[in-house]
Amino acid sequence: MAPAPPPAASFSPSEVQRRLAAGACWVRRGARLYDLSSFVRHHPGGEQLLRARAGSVENEAVALEETQKTDPAMEPRFKVVDWDKDLVDWRKPLLWQVGHLGERYDEWVHQPVTRPIRLFHSDLIEGLSKTVWYSVPIIWVPLVLYLSWSYYRTFAQGNVRLFTSFTTEYTVAVPKSMFPGLFMLGTFLWSLIEYLIHRFLFHMKPPSDSYYLIMLHFVMHGQHHKAPFDGSRLVFPPVPASLVIGVFYLCMQLILPEAVGGTVFAGGLLGYVLYDMTHYYLHFGSPHKGSYLYSLKAHHVKHHFAHQKSGFGISTKLWDYCFHTLTPEKPHLKTQ
């Protein structure tokens, strides 16, 4: 932590409060004042933890040190980079450069940095590759509500039957009372899909001699591991997300009767929204220690900064338990 210039003694309490109100995050320890403004969004316990202590006469810096010592799982480890000597030129879009890294790509992409990433030359395409977190509920929750109401009305008419594609004699009627169960089934299935995509697609190791597969991996997920606190790339942008969601919807319509497949899809779409919102919160939120979200945050921090080949669940650790991919716990020191 670097002390805020000039010396802390030159700032009156009213000046400190004015700076804090303007967005600075200054923490006092003894007679010195420390400027944590550039670090606050990367703090492992969340931004609110530091801002709640900023400017107080209490011994805030000691509290910060104790937080990091008592829970090392929450401590990110960023790579110290000489930007002029890195394997890529950060002044240019990265997507067209990473394919040339070859065997060096896998190690490079799992060395996190604290700066944002630019992928494309075109401002339009670059803009479509980023989004704010609240675009996800604004766009997709109304669709979940519309599909749910529409398919519930179809169930209420009493004309929904299973196995009509195979037989007309032994079809099974699906009553409207099944609607909540099918919807929740979709949400549950999404948690499995989330795990499988994250583990086997996002964390595939592209062949070192394939320029285009390295590029594909970087644009899908590698850029998130390289810059995990780039807030504009933490949730899926609407345009590429709509293409993937459309494919899932068509698959459900092909496999199941329209109302059944649509209801399962609507539940899965809600699961996706919860997943993206949870993912954003795990990076920038400040859950209470001992809470379920705190456990998920520690799980995800370890996935990013220590154990990239485990801890693939985001909204739940259920499938990490089932498939034995939980991030390892820090061993306890033996006492004499």
Delimit the domains of the chain by residue range. 1-67, 126-323
| Separation CA 326–CA 311 (nearest Å) | 5
288 labelled ligand-binding: no
303 labelled ligand-binding: yes
253: Cα within 13 Å, side-chain hemisphere:
8
CB atoms within 10 A of CB 211: 16
pLDDT at 55: 55
Question: What are φ and ψ of residue 33, in 5° steps?
Answer: -120, 130
* Single-letter residue type at 114: T
Long-range contacts, 309-316 (Cβ 8 Å, 24+): 309/203, 312/195, 312/198, 312/199, 312/203, 313/191, 313/194, 313/195, 313/198, 314/194, 314/198, 314/275, 314/278, 314/279, 314/282, 315/191, 315/194, 315/271, 315/274, 315/275, 315/278, 315/279, 316/191
Residue among 237, 278, 225 at smallest CA distance from 108 = 225
Q: What percent of the chain has pLDDT over 90?
A: 56
Query: Does the pLDDT at position 70 exceed 50?
Result: no
CB 324 within 8 A of CB 306: no
The position carrying tokens 């316990």 is 45
Pick the residue with more confidence: 333 or 253?
A: 253
Lowest model confidence (mean pLDDT) among 40-49, 208-217, 256-265, 266-275: 40-49
221 labelled ligand-binding: yes
- Rg over alpha carbons for the chain, rounded to the nearest Å, is 24
| Separation CA 98–CA 95 (nearest Å) | 6
pLDDT at 73: 53
* Local confidence band at 255 (pLDDT 50, 70, 90 cut-offs): confident
290: its two tokens = 């001992």
What are the start-end ranges of the H helices in 24-104?
47-51, 60-70, 95-98
224 labelled ligand-binding: yes
| Separation CA 36–CA 27 (nearest Å) | 7
* Local confidence band at 25 (pLDDT 50, 70, 90 cut-offs): low
CB atoms within 10 A of CB 24: 16
1-67, superfamily in CATH?
Cytochrome b5-like heme/steroid binding domain (3.10.120.10)
**For the segment 77-126, what is each residue's pLDDT rounded down to a tens digit?**
666 777 888 999 999 999 999 999 999 999 999 999 988 999 999 999 99
300 labelled ligand-binding: yes
